[in-house]
């Protein structure tokens, strides 16, 4: 009985996914809230006095990592949604306080939500200007964005663990 129910649910899920005319952009929109939640929680977990911490001399500070995430979100999402890139009146710095960096991180994810709501799969082959003036498909920016979220979270998790803290996804369920 359970096996039949599982098979039926798999067929139903497949049918629902097959009806989605934008499977790629829909999946990224589905991924965004989880990545946003985890990245923001990781940054909020780090004490303010640790934002200048860097594991080795060659690595960036935690504050620089947060700044990089904000800039990456704003740049890539502007390309994905064909929107002007968000630029602060006063440029954000890695030495800005925790509250300011967290606020900018949250705003960058809000911008990504807006940008992702403006794109559908039919636009993924459109040519956009990417890093260093190189041209590429909008799909490149979309895939780079999801890769960046995973990479940035793993970096933030490493900084937290090296500071004796558990990253959000490793914390016991409350």
The predicted-structure confidence for 118-172, as pLDDT tens digits, reads as follows 999 999 999 999 989 999 999 999 999 999 999 999 999 999 999 999 999 999 9
Burial class (CB in 10 A: 0-12, 13-18, 19+), 99: exposed
Cα dist. 84→11, 79, 112 in Å? Answer: 41, 8, 12
pLDDT digits (tens, 9 = 90+) for 70-96: 999 999 999 999 999 988 778 999 999
| Residue 174, pLDDT score | 77
Please determine, for residue 9, whether its predicted confidence score (pLDDT) is greater than 60: no
CATH of the domain at 108: 1.20.120.450
* Kind plus residue range of the DSSP H or E element containing 135: strand 135-137
Residue 111: inside a domain: yes
19 Rama sector, left if φ>0, alpha if ψ -120 to 50, beta otherwise: alpha
Residue 6: inside a domain: no
Mean pLDDT of the chain: 92
Residue 105: inside a domain: yes
pLDDT digits (tens, 9 = 90+) for 11-30: 555 655 557 899 999 999 99
* Kind plus residue range of the DSSP H or E element containing 78: helix 62-81
Q: Give the number of domains in the chain.
A: 1
Residue 8: inside a domain: no
* Kind plus residue range of the DSSP H or E element containing 136: strand 135-137
Residue 63: inside a domain: yes
Cα 86 to Cα 71: distance, rounded to the nearest angstrom: 9
Residue 13: inside a domain: no
* Kind plus residue range of the DSSP H or E element containing 127: strand 127-129
| Residue 87, pLDDT score | 84
| Residue 145, pLDDT score | 98
**Residue 122, domain extent:** 22-170
Burial class (CB in 10 A: 0-12, 13-18, 19+), 135: exposed
Residue 140: inside a domain: yes
Residue 16: inside a domain: no
pTM of the predicted protein model = 0.87
């Amino acid at each position: 009985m359970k096996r039949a129910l599982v098979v039926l649910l798999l067929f139903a899920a497949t049918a629902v996914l097959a009806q989605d005319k934008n499977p790629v952009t829909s999946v990224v929109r589905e991924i965004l809230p989880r990545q946003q939640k985890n990245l923001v929680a990781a940054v909020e977990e780090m004490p303010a006095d640790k934002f200048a911490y860097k594991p080795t001399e060659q690595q960036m500070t935690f504050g620089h990592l947060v700044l990089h995430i904000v800039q990456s979100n704003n740049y890539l999402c502007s390309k994905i949604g064909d929107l002007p890139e968000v630029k602060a009146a006063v440029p954000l710095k890695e030495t800005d306080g925790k509250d300011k960096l967290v606020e900018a991180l949250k705003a960058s994810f809000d911008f990504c939500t807006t940008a992702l709501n403006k794109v559908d799969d039919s636009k993924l082959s459109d040519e956009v200007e990417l890093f260093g003036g190189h041209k590429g498909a909008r799909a490149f920016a979309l895939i780079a964005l999801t890769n960046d979220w995973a990479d940035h979270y793993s970096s933030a998790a490493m900084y937290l663990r090296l500071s004796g803290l558990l990253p959000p996804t490793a914390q016991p369920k409350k």
